[in-house]
Amino acid sequence: MGSNMAEAHPVGFQWVIEAKARGAKVIHIDPRFTRTSAHADQHVTIRAGTDIAFLGGVINHILGHDLDFREYVRAYTNASFLVNERFQDTEDLDGLFSGYDPHTAAYDASSWSYAGVTAQERPGDHAKETSEPYRHGAKGPFVEEGPGEMEADPTLEHPRCVFQVLKRHFARYTPEMVERICGVPQELFLDVCRAWTANSGRERTTALVYSVGWTQHSVGAQYIRAGSIVQLLLGNIGRPGGGIYALRGHASIQGSTDVPTLFNLLPGYLPMPDVAHEDLAGYLDTVRGPREKGFWGDADAYMVSLLKEYWGEAATAENDYCFDYMPRMNGDHGTYRTVMDMNDGKVFGYFLLGQNPAVGSAHGRLQRLGMANLDWLVVRDLAMIESASFWKDAPEVETGEIATERCRTEVFFFPAASHVEKAGTFTQTQRMLQWRDQAVAPSGDQRSELWFFYQLGLRLKERLAGSTDERDRPVQDLAWDYETEGDEPSASDVLRHMNGIDLRTGRTVDGYFDLKADGSTACGCWIYSGVYAGETNQARRRTPHTRTGPYDAEWGWTWPLNRRVLYNRASADPDGQPWSERKKLVWWDAEAGEWTGHDTPDFERTKPPHYQPAEGASGPDALSGSDAFIMMRDGKAWLFAPAGLADGPLPTHYEPHESPMRNLLYGQQANPVRKVYGRPDNPSNPAPPEAHGEVFPYVFTAARLTEHHTAGAMSRQLPYLAELQPALFVEVSPELAQERDLRHLEWAHVITSRTAVDARVVVTDRMAPLRVDDRVVHQVWMPYHWGTTGLTTGDVVNDLIGVVADPNVFIQESKVLTCDVRPGRRPRGPALLEYVADYRRRAGITPETGTRIATAGGHTERAHIESHDRPEDAS
Amino acid sequence: MGLKRWIDAWPVYRQLTGTDPLGRGKAAQSPRSAALGSRTESADRMVHSVCPYCAVGCAQRVYVKDERVIQIEGNPDSPISRGRLCPKGSASKQLVTGPQREEHVLYRPPCGTQWQRLDLETAMDMVADRVLDARRKGWQDTDEEGRTLRRTMGLASLGGAALDNEENYLIKKLFTALGALQIENQARI
């Protein structure tokens, strides 16, 4: 679901084909019949944006027919824990959970906690941007005061136990409701339920694959939660052939999340400090609780080692290891917020590093107009891209909104070295680091990012060397002394430092268990600790698959500790024995007194299955022998998330921000805490209960093609690829073609309240109209790789999309919106602006459209528009 | 030419008597095609790499001759890809050797209408000066309640998903030391 794997990850898809050849059944659930559907045993057409309704139906089917893997659920999930008496469900509140504040459009999550547990969320701290999940890193929030104090009912019958709460929450997600909301006929839906449940249990497992078709929604995090709940109920996590595969789309996008170039994280999912953290102790207190379970209990060692790697000798116990050198966050500093701040003149300089937001980010117009309002822009890429040349060839030059001679942005283009011209690691989608050797030297001014940032750092240190300003000390003290090869730092030395070094011996540590909180180790990324164990670059290993076991443990290196399956303790039963011979992965060897098996056990090697922690234990020591989910603070997988999510402890079907439909399940139309940016330059199409949705009557979704790569900088310039996919197109059903008089291969244009784009029409029954509730819904699909440069050019599809975001992670909802489609080409020049303005007038669109987000019974509507001076700017 | 060689030169004879009964290999070779070799055979060296497009992580073999990339192929040893590459991965030689690659620093001054060449060292110095300027203009010591911010909102960065882990590490480290928070990449998109 939410993935067109054959198209977007074709070489990975060989394993699906191989599984199918061995008898596996492949089901593809997607709004469109795709290259993946063509290889599936069954394709299910679903209305874009309704996956939670579908998955909720599956959960209801499992619970209603007692099809869950009960022993697994009881042992490894939080099904038996009791929920706070104050908790109220969407069943009780018309689509809202308890704690909702319509004024701030945020939840006070304190009533979602477990019974008998002190709530961690501070009452009154409602502000969406200062209390929410992005602040937690991966550790999640506190859930309990200590092990063994949780109220639980192992029979799973207590009305307030998670299992029963789950049952009630999803009871209304019936096959009839799935049909009415998703447009999936009941029999087809039940076929999927039967196939999924029949293929799960002791002897069999089912894998679930998703991609950005799940993440790019205003309820994206909850899509994934819904998939997780199904997989946990069926016992498909931590077991061979099971799991949830997040297929990622860029060579090192996993790496750039682990070693984050992200505002809210430090390496290894440690949270970025925020204004509430006065010192290191205060910071650590929010990362690890005094008596909670799991490996986040050692966060002090991870953080102190990171600070030692950043500031070297200058970081001492006396000065809190320079914790105070860290900048603090106090809100959403994500890329879309930044772009709006560029438009508002609050950002002066911008670096683009192998990324082309003029084409690749939602609302490309906003991106380009923002860049046209900077003092300076640095672009580093292999080839010229639209984000570097916007001042002369942006669509806004044609409309007159950007005048080249008056655009004051100073632009530097630095040619980058390619993947064969530098050495280093990518982390692929299954967390595997693979080292690349350098094949040839780059030419001319081409340089790696390693060179660029190292050299920039040297220059900045030189310029600030004599400064007496306190704010410059973090730069002055920065450890910037990697081994060099010529004028470039050695990538392997940087990787060594990310792995971690024992400062007493100068040698690399073997894993994160060697890290210390006393300043005697330095480690740049604790989850990568072990990649340079024994002073050997483990990511460079290339033992052929023909010469190793089924888990190919000697090809590359997978974090953590070369583990291929996370939470693999759950592949064995509570006694430590495999659930079945067929599905054995790791198990307890009583004779040897340790965990063994085909993979690196994701558990303390010598902790027996029936181990009970001592009274008062915390961290890893507090994990019992059956607490398989070793990173969770209660050792259990969360069916119900007692904290940590901005939009509720359970997934709930909400309509997309822009939808042709009223929510059939609740009065609450769309995600009640989604992040809206009500601004004149970011209009929304109206959605029920607002009027005039008929102006944009169709559902729009966009995705990739095999032959192009994201924003096109690495594909539109290549003759082979440009020839394979030579033009932008829009796919419509024969029925929609008839309704709108669209002809195959002729031109049409797609319109939203943001802009209109041209494309060739492809009339195809790959797009099928859906019967949804009492009406027909047409969906429209476009690939999004085109722009103004390259061997094949076309309009920027992302210009159609406005910015509205998931409140947990601030990812935009770009997989579903509404649009109109008309035959012929769009107007050009200033006439385009007038054309789109006319659509906005007809739809009655103002900056308030789409921002009255509380629609459940009893709530007074309040528009969440952006005032000119936001509170956080007061500083 | 002796009789044996004369008969051997006859493809049908080779097809009927040799190891190629279908006539699709050696039996059908002419002296010219028999003398052809793959580009990779003449390479000076083969270097291990990984495909730079999606996140599957297919292994590549990069063949180099005279310090130029002459071929990029899939590596059959890989447990991930078993030698396969998709159309993009198969086009990676064009990606790294094609004429679209820029080789020089280009500069567009404020309100300029054309790109200009700029010396790399000069450009680096100019960027360093501008970073400090933007940092200063966007600096915030504390919030309205007097809590420490110690940051700049004057500069931002986007990118990293196409870069190496080691590069992302230095980027985050340097920007954090500068107090710059708005460091983002495709993972947010």
pLDDT grade for A873, boundaries at 50, 70 and 90: very low
Nearest CB neighbour to A875, from listed B76, B140, B177: B140
Burial of B65 (0-12, 13-18, 19+ CB in 10 A): middle
Residue A756 sits in a domain of what CATH number? 2.40.40.20
Provide mean pLDDT across the span A571-583: 98
pLDDT at site A875: 34
Q: How far is CA B127 from the centre of its chain?
A: 25
Q: Which of residues 568-597 of A touch B (CB under 8 A)?
A: none
User: Nearest CB to A875: which of B57, B80, B143?
Assistant: B143
What is chain A's mean pLDDT, rounded? 94
Are the beta carbons of B91 and A721 separated by less than 8 Å?
Answer: yes
Q: Average pLDDT in the A142-163 region?
A: 79
Share of chain B above pLDDT 90, in %: 80
- The minimal CB distance from A11 to the residues B62, B84, B144 is found for B84
The band of B6, judged by pLDDT with boundaries at 50, 70 and 90, is: confident
What is the domain extent for residue A365? Answer: 335-420+438-464
User: Computed from CA positions of residues A828, A829, A834, A839, in that sequence, does the dihedral angle turn out positive or negative?
Assistant: positive
Domain presence at residue A711: yes
Using CB atoms and an 8 Å cut-off, which of residues 688-707 of chain A contact chain B? 706-707
pLDDT, residue B144, reads 95
**Contact pairs from chain A to chain B, CB under 8 Å:** 487
Give all strands (DSSP E) within A323-468, no chain letters. Answer: 349-353, 376-381, 410-415, 424-427, 432-436
Chain B positions in Cβ-Cβ contact with residue A875 (cut-off 8 Å): 140, 142-144, 149
Residue A869 has pLDDT above 60, yes or no: no
> Counting Cβ atoms within 10 Å, is residue B41 exposed (0-12), middle (13-18) or buried (19+)?
exposed
A310 to B113: CB separation less than 8 angstroms, yes or no:
no
Q: Which residues does chain A have within 8 Å of residue B178's beta carbon, measured at their own beta carbons?
A: 460, 474-475
Q: What is the pLDDT of residues A590-603, one digit of tens each?
A: 999 999 999 999 99
What one-character-per-residue DSSP string does B156-181 give? EEE--TTS-HHHHHHHHHHHHHHTB-
Q: What is the pLDDT of residues B90-112, one digit of tens each?
A: 999 999 999 999 999 999 999 99
What mean pLDDT is predicted for residues A51-61? 98
A260 falls within a domain: no
Contact: B54, A349; criterion CB under 8 Å: no
Q: Which residues contact A106 (CB under 8 A, 6 or more apart)?
A: A100, A126, A127, A128, A131, A132, A646, A673, A807
- Nearest CA of chain A to the CA of B74: how many Å? 11
* B58, B87, B171 ranked by CB distance to A261: nearest: B171
Predicted confidence at residue A138, as pLDDT, reads: 63
Residues in chain A within 8 Å Cβ distance of B78: 542, 545, 555
Q: What is the pLDDT of residue A857?
A: 78
Within-domain flag for A511: no
- Chain A CB contacts of B133 under 8 Å are 348-349, 375
Chain A interface, best mutation among B129, B164, B183, by max A CB count within 10 A: B164
* B181 vs B2, residue with greater confidence: B181
More confident residue, A401 or B26: A401
Asked if the Cβ–Cβ distance from B56 to A552 is below 8 Å, we say no
Q: Quick one: pLDDT at residue A363?
A: 98
| Minimum-distance CB partner of A253 among B84, B137, B186 | B186
* Predicted pLDDT of residue A124: 36
For residue B29, the distance in angstroms to the closest alpha carbon of chain A comes to 29
Q: How confident is the model at residue A860 (pLDDT cuts 50, 70, 90)?
A: low
Q: Which residue does chain B place closest to A358, by CA atoms? A: B158
| pLDDT in the model for residue A130 | 45
Whether the CB of A382 is below 8 Å from some CB of chain B: the reply is: yes
Of all residues in chain B, the one with the smallest CA distance to A354 is B159
When divided into structural domains, chain A yields a total of 2
What is the 3-state composition of chain A as percent helix, strand, coil, each rounded to the nearest 5? 30, 15, 55
- Residues in A 853-872 with any Cβ partner in B closer than 8 A: 872
Q: In chain A, pLDDT over 90 holds for what percent of residues?
A: 92
- Distance from the Cα of A126 to chain B's closest Cα (Å) equals 17
> Which pLDDT belongs to residue A137?
67
pTM over 0.80: yes
A245 touches chain B (CB under 8 A): no
Cα-Cα end-to-end distance for chain A: 44
> Are B160 and A353 in contact (CB < 8 Å)?
yes
Instruction: State ipTM.
Output: 0.96
Say yes or no for a CB contact (<8 Å) between B80 and A11.
yes
Contact (CB, 8 A) for A323 and A273: yes
Backbone angles phi, psi at A271, to 5 degrees: -70, 150
What is the average pLDDT across A84-97?
97
Give one word for A433, left, alpha or beta, with left for phi > 0 and alpha for psi -120 to 50: beta
Burial per residue of B80-118, b for 16 or more beta-carbon CB atoms within 10 angstroms, e otherwise: bbbebbbbbbbbbbbbbbeebbbebbbbbeeebeebeeb
> In this predicted model, what pLDDT tens digit does every residue of A232-269 receive, in sequence order?
999 999 999 999 999 999 999 999 999 999 999 999 99
Name the minimum distance, in Å, from the CA of A181 to any CA of chain B: 27
Contact state of A275 with B98 under an 8 Å Cβ cutoff: no
Give residue A86's pLDDT.
Answer: 96
Distances (CA, A) of A62 to A59, A204, A234, A286: 5, 16, 8, 37
Domain boundaries, chain B: 3-35, 39-97, 103-128, 138-188
Q: Do B153 and A459 touch (CB under 8 A)?
A: no
Cβ contacts (< 8 Å) between B179 and chain A: which residues?
A: 327, 471, 474
CATH number of the domain that residue A402 is part of: 3.40.50.740
- Give start and end residues of each alpha helix (H) in A661-747: 719-724, 734-740
Cβ atoms B71, B39 nearer than 8 A: yes
B-chain residues near A250 (CB < 8 A) = 53-55, 161-162, 186
Model pLDDT, residue A292:
84
Q: Hey, are the CB atoms on B69 and A420 less than 8 Å from each other?
A: yes
Confidence band (pLDDT; 50, 70, 90) for A325?
A: very high
Confidence of residue A862 (pLDDT cuts 50, 70, 90): confident
Question: Whole-angstrom Cα distance, residue A811 to residue A675?
Answer: 9
Looking at chain B, list the stretches that DSSP marks H as alpha helix, in order from N- to C-terminal side.
3-8, 11-17, 31-35, 87-90, 92-97, 120-137, 165-178
Of B128, B169, B186, the CB nearest to A524: B169
Q: What is the pLDDT of residues A283-322, one digit of tens each?
A: 999 898 777 899 999 999 999 999 999 999 999 999 999 9
| Cβ distance of B148 and A328 shorter than 8 Å | yes
The pLDDT of residue B10 is 85
Q: Does residue A342 carry a pLDDT above 80?
A: yes
A350 with B156: Cβ contact below 8 A: yes
Question: What's the average model confidence in pLDDT over A92-107?
Answer: 95
Report pLDDT digits (tens) over A616-650: 899 999 999 999 999 999 999 999 999 999 999 99
Could you tell me the fold of the domain covering B39-97?
N-terminal domain of TfIIb (2.20.25)
CA atoms within 13 A on the CB side of A421: 25
Separation CA A670–CA B152 (nearest Å): 35
Report CB contact under 8 Å: A325, B171.
Answer: no
Position A147 scores a pLDDT of 46
Measure the CA–CA gap between A111 and A643, rounded to whole angstroms. Answer: 9
User: Which of chain A's residues have a Cβ under 8 Å away from the Cβ of B121?
Assistant: none
Q: Is residue A376 included in any domain, yes or no?
A: yes
Q: Among B46, B165, B182, which would you mutate to test the A interface (most chain A Cβ atoms within 10 Å of its Cβ)?
A: B165
Strands A376-381 vs A349-353: parallel, antiparallel or unpaired: parallel
* Record: contact B87-A714, CB cut-off 8 A: no
Long-range CB contacts (within 8 A, 24+) of A399-408 = A399/A829, A399/A830, A399/A832, A399/A833, A400/A829, A400/A830, A401/A369, A401/A833, A402/A368, A402/A369, A402/A372, A404/B111, A404/B113, A405/B111, A405/B113, A406/B111, A407/A372, A407/B110, A407/B111, A408/A375, A408/B110, A408/B111
Q: Convert the pLDDT of each residue in A503-530 to its tens digit.
A: 999 999 999 999 999 999 999 999 999 9
Predicted local distance difference test score (pLDDT) of residue A149: 63
Using a CB-CB cut-off of 8 Å, the residues of chain A touching B140 are 875
Span A425-483, pLDDT tens digits: 999 999 999 999 999 999 999 999 999 999 999 999 999 999 999 999 999 999 999 99
Residue A870 pLDDT: 45
**Closest chain A residue to B181 measured between Cα atoms?**
A263
A678-712 pLDDT, tens per residue?
999 999 999 999 999 999 999 999 999 999 999 99
Q: At A131, is the pLDDT very low, low, confident or very high (cuts 50, 70, 90)?
A: very low
Name the residue facing A706 among B86, B170, B189 (closest C-beta): B86
CB-based contact B102 A381, cutoff 8 Å: yes
Cα(A143)–Cα(A727) distance, integer angstroms? 52
Please tell me the distance from the alpha carbon of residue B52 to that of residue A251, in angstroms, as a whole number: 5
What are B116-161's pLDDT values in tens digits? Answer: 999 999 999 999 999 999 999 999 999 999 999 999 999 999 999 9
pLDDT exceeds cutoff 90 at A135: no
In tens, the pLDDT along A732-776 reads 999 999 999 999 999 999 999 999 999 999 999 999 999 999 899
What was the pLDDT predicted at A139? 59
Judging contacts by C-beta atoms under 8 Å, the chain A residues touching residue B177 are: 310, 325, 474-475, 478
Rounded to a whole number of angstroms, the distance between the first and last alpha carbons of chain B is: 71
Q: Which helix (H) or strand (E) holds A521?
A: strand A521-522
Question: What would you report as the CA-atom Rg of chain A, rounded to the nearest whole angstrom?
Answer: 27
Do the chains contact at A355 and B102, CB–CB below 8 Å?
A: no
Per-residue pLDDT, A874: 35
Please judge whether B169 and A724 are an interchain contact, meaning their C-beta atoms are less than 8 angstroms apart. no
pLDDT of residue A871: 41
In whole angstroms, what is the distance from residue A837 CA to residue B39 CA? 58
Higher pLDDT, B55 or A134: B55
